[in-house]
A = this chain, B = another copy of it.
Amino acid sequence: MPQPLSSRDKILDVAEALFARRGYTGVGLRELADATGLGKSSLFHHFRGKAELYCVVVARALERIEAGVAPVFESDAPPGERLERLVGALVDQLAEQPTTARLLLRALFEEEEFAADPPAEAARAEAIVASLVTRMQALLHEGVEAGVFRRASSAHTAQTLIGATVYHFASAEVGEGILGKPLFSAEAVAERKAELIALLRHGLAAPASPSPQHRGDPPWRS
């Protein structure tokens, strides 16, 4: 069952680590070939070229995320609970492989490089992102309509959620300096989950007294 990795899968695994660390242009096929133990030319038998290889790597990472969070969206739990489980699943997925967050954050920048000659896999990646974002916004909207979330912009809240999760696990030395511990230690991951959920519970909950005219935010206590 733990079948030895095919050459293709091995290439993808090694390439994911390298692309996450140095980015698309920063990784050479020579380096990738050496790291896999293959010759440089063998890579072209598995992939049409560097661009396609890169897009397959990114799409594969997005599919892992998608698979991890899909059960949350299919759940029929109330919106508040679903939102918390979404954050938990997102954090779990990003924490499972330390390369994922960096790879995806970099991909956000480098995707425009392929505007000229977009490999077919680039469309798959974009579709997954669009689908995830749409469902996240729908969940937020549903919570507002149900009266359990305050009337925050679902677009901006989605952006904040992405930034707070993806950026955090991509922040490397800067983030570790702030936390004072390894980003991917079990302790730091659990903390991240708890802190984000607490921020959302306090920050997104509908006010206790739903006075219709109460549009302003509460002032600070002191």
Contact = CB atoms under 8 A, between A and B. Distances in A.
Copies in the assembly, this chain? 2
Interface residues of A, number: 73
Interface string A150-194: 101101111110111111101111110111100000000001100
A129 B166 CA distance: 19
B26 A172 contact: no
A148 interface: yes
Interface string A102-115: 10011011111100
Contacts of A203: 199-200, 202-204
Given A25-B26, A164-B163, A147 B222 contact: yes
A173 to B, nearest CB: 7
A205 B180 contact: no
A32 to B, nearest CB: 15
A45 interface: no
20 contacts: A21-B112, A23-B109, A23-B110, A26-B110, A26-B113, A80-B221, A80-B222, A153-B191, A155-B180, A156-B179, A158-B178, A159-B167, A159-B178, A160-B164, A163-B164, A197-B217, A201-B218, A202-B217, A205-B220, A205-B221
